[in-house]
Chain A
Amino acid sequence: MSRIGVFTCHCGENIGATVDCAKVAEMCKDIPGVAYSVDYKYMCSDPGQRMMQEAIKEHKLDGVVVAACSPRMHEPTFRRAVANAGVNPYMCEMANLREHCSWVHEKGEATTHKAADLIRVLVEKIKHNEPLFPIKVPVTRTAMVIGGGVGGIQVALDIANGGHKVVLVEKSPSIGGHMSQLSETFPTLDCSQCILTPRMVEAAQHPNITLMTYSEVEKVDGFIGNFKVTVRKKARKLDEKLCTGCGLCIQKCPNKKISDEFNEGLGTRTAIYVPFPQAVPNKPVIDTLNCTFYKTGKCKVCEKLCPTGAIRFEQEDELVTLDIGAIVLATGFKLMKTDVFPEYGYGKSKDIIDGMQFERLASASGPTSGVMKRPSDGKEPETVVFIACSGSRDRSKGVPYCSKICCMYTAKHAMLYKHKVHSGKAYVFYMDIRAAGKDYDEFVRRAIEEDDVKYIRGRVSKIYEEDGKLVVMGADTLMGGEPVEIRADMVVLATAVQSNEGSEELAQTLHVSYDTYGFFAEAHPKLRPVETNTAGIFLAGACQAPRDIPETVAQASGAAAKVVGLFSNDELTREPIVAVVNRLPAPAYSHCVGCFLCLSACPYQAIEQEEIKSRSGEVIKTLARINPGLCQGCGTCVATCRTKAIDLQGFSNEQIYAELMTL
């Protein structure tokens, strides 16, 4: 027989004025299993808690119902108090007499009766409560950051400075991401490389950071605190330890006409290359698709010249498996290509470029050394048209969302152009100007007012080539839709920001959700923006949604704080409100029949397969097993299981059934 104590709180007048608390306490004495029932002015006050603790000891209570306010308010308080009196905290439940009764009903008999009912339900529940113990999960204090753009670098540095090990995995040969390609940055117009390069170097030299460039995540097993990540280190065809980065090989490589990704196809590079001079690490890779040796079996000029003998033509990809406690995704974005716009001639004209190409043209380290030359003939463009929202907010292009950064960088581009070509004319076609942010609107106004950039509100319907010019036909909606025709030398399309190549596959590898557009989904749009719904995996930067640098960096630091928080203990302690699959002695082993209908119901991929094996190693039965490190206790699987093999601790079938039977 249970010995349950019921403690009815008046909450001053809050409950007491509407519910006859003394009567409730009296009524509860008659509930079978209730060994003690009392009412008190303020249960949550110190004397209230002390009185409860004394009663627990004196009456040898093994369960407690506190009839007071919402459990969402004081459940932790009373569970702690109960624990301090030596009873398992999960043997305490709260009846919500205040929010769900006294505050919402009129004073009277019915309300007092309802209060007693609410208590009765929980008394019956408690009879089926079991002591529960926090779940402890060990934590490997090494983080992995996937993606080495400005976001990933920031996360890595913050975690490393917090005293923890970080592995930074970047798929391209250098860290830096899109920011390393930018010329100057809004809203301050400071040089992008100048502010980014020191960070890149810091990351490379940090004793807590291991860089794995030219590498990709292949497989992820395990769960929060205990991931096992397999990384593919792609063969650089180079012994990185021997290479000093002298660059002799690059100078002498005979194969010099390869379209350069870093310069967005506006320049060329060699087959053995570093993507850009400030690359980190400053160690080349051989592009085996274009290398003469791999194509013809002859060349090896680089091998002959390398003073340290670092070239390794026979080198193969290497798979490395690492123990990781937390993962941060920072894989960034990609830009929509210019060739999807029929109205702009599918971007066939060399002088219709995208924003990133413009960045390279404007960059001092770019293919034109920062001198404005249009790609087709190298002439200085006298008139440039910038088209914002190219593909963004356009359902027909599959991008109904706003890419967020284009308004700002388009203003920046127009300004940079005007600073370089003083006599030039810059036009911007736009739908709306979205320049919300510190100093952002001022920045756009500067472009219009100080740099005389002509802003035209309207869409461009067509661009065609005529006599070496690009004829841009649009309309000015502020002038009543009056047609506008501009004969331009170059057109810059601010194409939409899209989720990066391979995002969906990566999300599947990591079991994190992604939205319709392939951006990774946050656990809660407002309150958990840097977490994913897979515990232990976090987000930073443009891989979650279009973001500019300040936002990326802020989110990166947020994600890092989450990781450092997770790493602040050897063990992770979790609430024991988790699901369990029942276990029985042989030959049944469990009520689970191994149908795994529950598997896809779990929002957290917490359900695993467990094989029961005989002594000889033969599989007798395959059962579901719930990983307590991942389960969040929603109970969806419980309701899905036909055989009632799964139950949820704290809200078990027996508890709920008992509650229902009092109604």
Chain B
Amino acid sequence: MEALKQRAIELLEKGEVKAVLGYAKGTGQARRAFFARQPGQVDKLVLDEACTQNLAAYATKHEVKKLGRVAIVAPPATQRALIQLMAERQLRDGDLAILAVDEGAIKELGSAAALEEHLALKAQGLDAKDKTLLAKLDAMSREDRWAYWQNEFSRCMKCYACRNSCPMCYCEHCTMDCNRPQWVPVASHSIGNLEYHMVRTMHLAGRCVECGDCGRACPVGIPVHLLTISAEETVHELFGQRAGAKAKLDYALSTFKTDDKESFIR
């Protein structure tokens, strides 16, 4: 923590970055995103177990890009999001100083190549809780799974908090806002909710960095991240690749192998 603060102050003082994007205390135990613009504000930064939010979602925002070079506090999932965003050309290599945080240790990474190398050293594992939940879903009968999601979605009010929190949902014009034609109904009734989550899941398959933020963001506690994560895992199982690993775009759904294996196409 001290090392982080020290580096943050240095970066700001030397003018190497215009702001340091990290975490600060929110209400109660919660942590919120915080931009330290002056060295004096660095003291507000905190770094602990509760700092789970994927700050990469801010990095693509217009307002943030306008600031100039920014340093970003990046736990593993954020690192993955950043590299994926670079691959998808939403962030430019070198526009960010990445303060990679891995189990307390801080490492500054200035380029996509350095980030890629850093990520290659780590194994990506699912959160234990999510793993159990996914296994539970998997064990259910189809009817029960349907009922489970219908029950969960019945609370969805289409606030789009999941979408807004997701670092990969940076589209300026989301499909959900598409009205010519209105592919997905705007209303948050059963079919509208179902289609929203189906479509978003498909959009994240091969792109989800498995940070779990969408699930955490949901004000009514729908575990939507299980959907995107399981889609991402599907992509990994089927095609042996993951999002958030390479700085060069390698999107599983816009490439193919002539011998991709499936057993259901008649």
Contact = CB atoms under 8 A, between A and B. Distances in A.
Interface of A: 588, 591, 593-601, 622, 640, 642-645, 653-654, 657-658
Contact of A595 (B88, B175, B178, B180): B88
B251 A600 contact: yes
Contacts, number: 57
A642 B175 contact: yes
Contacts of B253: 597, 601, 640
A643 B175 contact: yes
Given A597-B254, A658-B181, A643 B171 contact: yes
Nearest to B182: A657
A217 to B, nearest CB: 26
Given A596-B88, A598-B254, A622-B89, A657 B181 contact: yes
Contact of A642 (B171, B180, B181): B171
Given A640-B253, A642-B203, A593 B172 contact: yes
Q: How large is the interface on B (under 10, 10 to 19, 20 to 34, 35 or more residues)?
A: 10 to 19
A595 B249 CA distance: 9
A644 B249 CA distance: 20
A430 B251 CA distance: 47
B181 A601 contact: no
A294 B85 CA distance: 51
Given A596-B88, A657-B181, A643 B174 contact: yes
Contact of A600 (B88, B171, B255): B255
A658 B249 CA distance: 34
B171 A593 contact: yes
A588 to B, nearest CB: 7
Contacts of B178: 643-644
Interface in B144-191: 170-175, 178, 180-181, 183
B181 A653 contact: yes
Nearest to A582: B173
Contacts of B180: 653-654
Given A640-B253, A657-B183, A658-B181, A596 B89 contact: yes
B89 A594 contact: yes
Interface of B: 88-90, 170-175, 178, 180-181, 183, 203, 249, 251, 253-255
A591 B179 CA distance: 12
Nearest to B202: A642
A591 B254 CA distance: 19
Contact of B88 (A588, A597, A640, A654): A597
B171 A597 contact: no
22 contacts: A591-B172, A593-B90, A593-B172, A595-B88, A595-B90, A596-B88, A596-B89, A596-B249, A597-B88, A597-B251, A600-B255, A601-B254, A601-B255, A622-B89, A643-B172, A643-B173, A644-B173, A645-B173, A654-B180, A654-B181, A657-B183, A658-B181
Nearest to A596: B89
Contacts of B203: 642
Nearest to B200: A642
B131 to A, nearest CB: 28
B208 to A, nearest CB: 13
A25 B175 CA distance: 38
A658 B175 CA distance: 17
A591 B173 contact: yes
A645 to B, nearest CB: 7
Nearest to B180: A654
B172 A588 contact: yes
The 3 A-B pairs of least Cβ separation, nearest first, read A657-B181, A601-B254, A591-B173
Nearest to A594: B89
Given A593-B170, A593-B171, A657-B181, 16 more contacts: A595-B88, A595-B89, A597-B251, A597-B254, A598-B254, A601-B254, A601-B255, A640-B253, A642-B175, A642-B203, A643-B171, A643-B173, A643-B174, A643-B178, A644-B175, A644-B183
Contacts of B183: 644, 653, 657
A644 to B, nearest CB: 5
Contacts of B181: 653-654, 657-658
Contacts of B89: 594-596, 622
